Structure 1
Amino acid sequence: MDCIFCKIISRQIPAKILHETSHSICFLDAFPLTKGHVLVIPKNHHKKIQDMSSSENSDLFSLVHVMMSKVDSITGSTLIAIHNGETAGQEIPHVHVHLVPRSESDSAGPIHSMFNSSLNLSNSEIEKYYNLLKI
């Protein structure tokens, strides 16, 4: 397989591994956005979160939870980011959760700053998506 994350998991590519569990592993990002930028990934190759089993999902987010305190201790605030699919900005097609320590001086903004504008939906459009998404 040509997946860089799968190669890290199999130790074909070195990484600064911080911790691993039966289904997940976390390590320092090789191209960090800030000091202490961590990636948490499932050991099995999945492109999207919904492709993972319940046990893999639980394990992944349990490790995110554990690592959050460690990452948060760097600046006191952490961005959690998941790009779930190519059009969502996912560059490597293997599920990965970014834990990025944030500070006032890092030049990044809130999620709404990633988009050129916000939508102004009509009541019927809001109702449409409400009915589409409710469980």
Structure 2
Amino acid sequence: MSGCVFCGIVADETPAFRVADEPDGVAFLDTRPVFKGHVLVVPRTHLVALADLPGESLAGYFGLVRRLAVAVEAGTEAGGTFVAMNNKVSQSVPHLHTHVVPRTKGDGLRGFFWPRTRYADDAEAETYAARITAAL
């Protein structure tokens, strides 16, 4: 869809630190992560909400999300992950996406307040993307 930043990333027209590019979706680092290694998983097709995802795509898309949850944990040496999705309300980009956030005990994340951070530079982001991709 024209003007959608996530569609631009899927089409490889908008730069992103990709960790997966598969028929069921594309995964890349969030540019303003809750914690470093925070990944967004998007379907290749422009869809706004979970209800728009065709039933026949559920297994493939959520299979990718599940694999990314394991890879983010391993690639960032986290204690676990937080997997979440906003549906229309609070979507900063109106394209279906699932957040996979690395978590560690005592990391300070509470409730639905998501403080954001930044990577020091592109090299640091590339390092996190490579570690997660390798863990896939």
1:109 matched to which residue of 2? 110
Matches within 5 A, 1:1-135: 1-73=2-74, 74-86=77-89, 89-110=90-111
**TM-score in terms of structure 1 length:** 0.75
Unaligned stretches of 5+ in structure 1? 115-135
Deviations 1:76-132 (A, max 9, x none): 11111100112xx11111000000011234321145x79xxxxxxxxxxxxxxxxxx
SS at the partner of 2:63? helix
CA shift for structure 1 position 55: 2.5
Unaligned stretches of 5+ in structure 2? 115-136
**TM-score in terms of structure 2 length:** 0.75
For these two proteins, the number of residue pairs brought into alignment is 111
Q: Which amino acid aligns with 1:36?
A: G
SS at the partner of 1:31? coil
Contact 2:79 2:105 in 1 (8 A): no
CA root-mean-square deviation:
1.7
Distance across 2 between alignment mates of 1:35 and 1:24: 21
Contact 2:24 2:64 in 1 (8 A): no
Contact 2:83 2:100 in 1 (8 A): yes
Distance across 2 between alignment mates of 1:33 and 1:10: 25
Distance across 1 between alignment mates of 2:14 and 2:88: 24
Structure whose alpha-carbon radius of gyration is higher: 1
Task: Provide the identity percentage.
Answer: 32
